[in-house]
Structure 1
Amino acid sequence: MPSDAPHAEWAKAIVTHSNAFGSPVWSVLWPDEMTDRTYTVFAAMDHLVEHQIASGYSLGIFDTRYQYKRPESAAAGGKLWWDPTDLSADGDELMAQMDFPLLSVALAYDGFYPFDMSRIAPVAQALPGFAESLHALETLDGRDPAGWKPTGPRQVLMRNATATKLDEGGKGLMRHLAHRIMRQAAEDGFRGIQIEGYHDSVTAVWSKPAAAVQGEIVSRINAWTWGVEDEKGEMVYMLRPSKQDCSKIYVTLKEQAAGQD
């Protein structure tokens, strides 16, 4: 996916909106404040999105016959019309304001070149429970880190953020991008891909991929039963009332994946 500024803004909007209003976790946690939280997360995602687009390993699907809703959008080749001061806009209105031809994204980066975690912190602050649940999945992963973590470039691809415009869902776009990125990673010499799945469809696609590769759920938590201890030693269930299974998945790439359709 090209790394120019408009595409980064569009990718941020798709990832933010789909997670806010389509996620079986976040949309359940804060149903009455998702518009405000959407704006907050969007503003915090610069590094997360830009780092992955700049890596050269992120993919996007564009509609070459997209019909623009506003002439100003057409003149600009696409435009995001969100107004962070408009807290009355609901999910459908925010969707309509995403007037650009990018439909779906699969963001990724080389695991040897990680995020600057200080610049990722605002995302975790805007989504309480996000960083904590990722840490839980990491802790529950019983594999020897020396057996899978990268020690150099082009070893392990990290998949972080899969999203499709909600009005384009059900068309197989996420699956298409997933299979394409597996093939591309294999061609580029990567031996594995790691991704966290907080949605059943993401987990299904990545844990049961094309025949040429092997997907494995290496750790899992349930949003309802998982909790963390507070300072008093009492359990806090940060992802309730969601009951979603959240998984960490590792895909082992094989040489023949490069030729898989």
Structure 2
Amino acid sequence: MSDVKLSPRYEIRPLELEHLEWAKAIFAHSFVFSSPLWRNLYPHNKTARFYGLYQASHFLIKHQIRSGLSLGIFDREYVFKNPSSASLGGALHFDHNDTSVDEDELLRQMDTPLVSIACAFDAFYALDNRFVAPVTGRLPASASFYEALGRNDDDGDDPWPTAPGQVLQRMGTATRADAVGEGFMKAMAHDMMRRAAEMGFSRIQIECFHDAVTAVWANPPLPFKGEVAREVDTYALNEIDAQGRRRFPFRPVRQRLTRVSVTLR
């Protein structure tokens, strides 16, 4: 079904709570240093922002891992850099007080076999805003994106699920910076579509902050069908602040932001 063939050294399997800290690290590192949106919108104090996002994402990532629907790609042949990491099966070696380290050093400190994540949960169980608020606090413009999508979400095209097992919500796509370009995101997306269909889900919904992610989810393998249900141009997106002034929260960065819906059956 998928046209992506991973090397046998890589394995896709559900994330477990034991992988929580690793997943948070990949999520935060990818968003702060690699995202074409966030790295340019927030170009300063990136290491401090990384630490902050890593901590802020705890409940969001944990909630999705606990759902049993989140996936990770693991390197079966990973060679540990630190003996203590090997004894634990993987470890992070961050010093949260040291903001002088750069993105490459932070990556080296992520001494685990996990290389990519795709987080998800059952949309019927509404995500408590307390889980999301800490993340939007570190990436404040993201709240404007979701608000803009909400303003365009009144035509009933994407009905809210009425029972568990209907709609899978994807929220959190990230790959280690030293593993980008291997097709991990696409392979895991296709695998998740297949798994969700086998579980009886009828649809997957995902908000995309990257052109490559939009392209993969809007063009799924047969028999699935994808479409861009909502779209926001960051450069045009504007809002009125508390003082009545019009502001453009994403400028000067221009990025296509989308909500993609994949029909599974």
Q: Which of 220, 234, 238 pairs up with 1:227?
A: 238
Are 2:231 and 1:203 aligned?
A: no
Q: Aligned to 1:141, what secondary structure does the other structure show?
A: coil
Partner of 1:84: 96
Partner of 2:119: 107
Q: Aligned to 2:131, what secondary structure does the other structure show?
A: helix
Are 2:174 and 1:163 aligned?
A: yes
Amino acid paired to 2:119 = L
- Matches of 1:56 and 1:119 in 2, distance apart? 17
What is the CA-CA distance between 1:142 and the residue it aligns to? 4.9
What is the CA-CA distance between 1:235 and the residue it aligns to? 1.7
Aligned-pair identity in percent equals: 44
What is the CA-CA distance between 1:238 and the residue it aligns to? 1.0
**Structure 2 gap ranges (5+):** 1-13
- Matches of 1:237 and 1:33 in 2, distance apart? 22
Q: Aligned to 1:216, what secondary structure does the other structure show?
A: strand
- Matches of 2:54 and 2:210 in 1, distance apart? 20
Are 2:133 and 1:128 aligned?
A: no
Matches within 5 A, 1:1-261: 1-5=14-18, 7-144=19-156, 148-254=159-265
What is the CA-CA distance between 1:90 and the residue it aligns to? 1.1
- Matches of 1:224 and 1:96 in 2, distance apart? 35
**Structure 1 gap ranges (5+):** 255-261
CA deviation string 1:195-217 (max 9, x = no partner):
00000100000011112111111
- Matches of 1:114 and 1:202 in 2, distance apart? 23
- Matches of 2:106 and 2:220 in 1, distance apart? 33
- Matches of 1:149 and 1:101 in 2, distance apart? 36
- Matches of 1:142 and 1:54 in 2, distance apart? 31
Provide the aligned C-alpha RMSD in A.
Answer: 1.3
Q: Is the 8 A contact 1:142 1:218 kept in 2?
A: no
Distance 1:128 1:135, change over 3 A: same
- Matches of 2:235 and 2:106 in 1, distance apart? 29
Q: Aligned to 2:97, what secondary structure does the other structure show?
A: coil
Partner of 1:258: none
* Stretch moving more, 112-121 or 30-39: 112-121
- Between the two proteins, the alignment pairs up a number of residues equal to 252
Partner of 2:8: none
- When normalised by structure 1's length, the TM-score is 0.93
* Stretch moving more, 123-132 or 55-64: 123-132
Partner of 2:9: none
Partner of 1:257: none
Amino acid paired to 1:125 = G
Amino acid paired to 1:38 = F
Q: Is the 8 A contact 2:17 2:62 kept in 1?
A: no
Q: Is the 8 A contact 2:119 2:171 kept in 1?
A: yes
CA deviation string 1:148-171 (max 9, x = no partner):
210110000000001110110011
